[in-house]
Chains A and B, each alone.
Chain A
Amino acid sequence: MSNEPDARFSPEAVFERHADLVYRLCFVRTKSRHDSDDLLQEVFLRYMKVWHTVQSEEHAKALLIRIAVNCTKTLLSSAWFRKTERLDETLPAEEREESAVLPAVLSLPLKYRTVIHLHYYQGYSVEEIAALLSSNPSTVKTRLMRARAMLKNTIKAEDL
Chain B
Amino acid sequence: MNFKDEYKNELDPVSADETVKNNVRRALRRESSAPAKRFYAFPIRAAAFSLCAVLLFAAGLWLFPKKNNAPVHRILVEKASSYGELYNTVKKLLPDERRLTRYYKSDDEIVTYGAEAKNAVEESAPDAAVGEASFSTTTKQVEGVDEADIVKTDGRYIYRLRHDPETSSASLVTVDTKGSAPQIISSLSLSTTESRAFTTMYVAENRLILIGCDYSVPGPAKSLVAFYDISDRSTPTLITETLQCGNMTDSRLVGGTLYLLSNYYINGDIDEEDPSTFVPFMECDGEKTVVSADSICIYENCSQPVYTMVCGYRTETGALLDTKSVLGGSYAVYCNTKTLLAAGYELDGKTQLVRFALEKGGITPVANGSIAGSLLNQFSMDEYKGYFRFVTTAFDQSKGQTVNALTVLDGDLKQTGKIDNLAPGEQVYSVRFMGDTGYFVTFRQVDPLFSADLSDPADPKIIGALKIPGFSDYLFPYGEGKLLGIGKNADEKTGVPDKMKLSLFDISDPANVTESFKTDLAAFDSEALYNHKACLADGKKNLIGFSGYYDDFCYYLYTLKKDGFVLLASIPLKEKAECRGLYIGSTFYIVGNEYLVYFDLNHPDKVWELALA
Q: Do A and B bind each other?
A: yes
Q: Which residues of A contact B (CB under 8 A)?
A: 5, 10-12, 15, 19-20, 23-24, 27-28, 33, 36-37, 40-41, 44-45, 48-56, 58-59, 62-63, 66, 74, 77-78, 80, 91-92, 95, 98-102, 105, 109, 111, 120-121, 125, 127-128, 131, 134, 136-139, 141-142, 145-146, 149-151, 153-160
In the complex the two chains form, what is the Cα distance from A127 to B346 in whole Å? 12
In the complex the two chains form, what is the Cα distance from A40 to B39 in whole Å? 20
| Contact B29 A100, beta carbon cutoff 8 Å | no
| Contact A128 B7, beta carbon cutoff 8 Å | no
Contact of B15 among A20, A99, A131, A151 (CB under 8 A): A20
Given contacts A40-B16, A59-B57, contact A19 B21 (CB under 8 A): yes
Q: Quick check: is B541 within 8 A (CB to CB) of the other chain?
A: no
Given contacts A125-B64, A128-B60, contact A49 B497 (CB under 8 A): no
20 contacts between A and B (CB under 8 A): A15-B28, A24-B15, A37-B20, A40-B21, A44-B27, A53-B47, A54-B50, A63-B53, A74-B165, A101-B3, A121-B7, A127-B60, A136-B247, A138-B331, A138-B332, A141-B331, A142-B377, A153-B494, A154-B494, A159-B2
Interface hits, B24-56 → A, CB 8 Å: 24-25, 27-29, 31-32, 39-40, 42, 46-51, 53-54, 56
B298 shortest CB reach to chain A, Å:
20
| Contact B23 A157, beta carbon cutoff 8 Å | no
The chain B residue with its CB closest to the CB of A98 is B10
Q: Quick check: is B386 within 8 A (CB to CB) of the other chain?
A: no
Given contacts A92-B14, A153-B494, contact A50 B42 (CB under 8 A): yes
Given contacts A50-B47, A80-B553, contact A125 B31 (CB under 8 A): no
| Contact A40 B53, beta carbon cutoff 8 Å | no
Q: Can you list, as one digit per residue, whether each of B54-74 has a CB less than 8 Å from chain A (1) or not (0)? A: 101110110110100000000
Q: List chain B residues, Cβ under 8 A from A5.
A: 39
A79 shortest CB reach to chain B, Å:
10
In the complex the two chains form, what is the Cα distance from A6 to B538 in whole Å? 57
Q: List chain B residues, Cβ under 8 A from A145.
A: 393, 427
Q: Quick check: is B87 within 8 A (CB to CB) of the other chain?
A: no
In the complex the two chains form, what is the Cα distance from A66 to B25 in whole Å? 21
In the complex the two chains form, what is the Cα distance from A53 to B31 in whole Å? 18
Contact of A50 among B7, B28, B194 (CB under 8 A): B194
| Contact B61 A45, beta carbon cutoff 8 Å | no
Interface core residue of B16, B40, B345 (most chain A CB under 10 Å): B16
- Which 3 A-B pairs have CB atoms at the shortest separation, nearest pair first? A157-B3, A59-B54, A53-B47
| Contact B53 A12, beta carbon cutoff 8 Å | no
| Contact A27 B14, beta carbon cutoff 8 Å | yes
Q: List chain B residues, Cβ under 8 A from A27.
A: 14
Q: Can you list, as one digit per residue, whether each of B162-176 has a CB less than 8 Å from chain A (1) or not (0)? A: 000100000000000
Contact of A155 among B3, B13, B525, B576 (CB under 8 A): B3
Q: Quick check: is B501 within 8 A (CB to CB) of the other chain?
A: no
| Contact B11 A121, beta carbon cutoff 8 Å | yes
| Contact B376 A101, beta carbon cutoff 8 Å | no
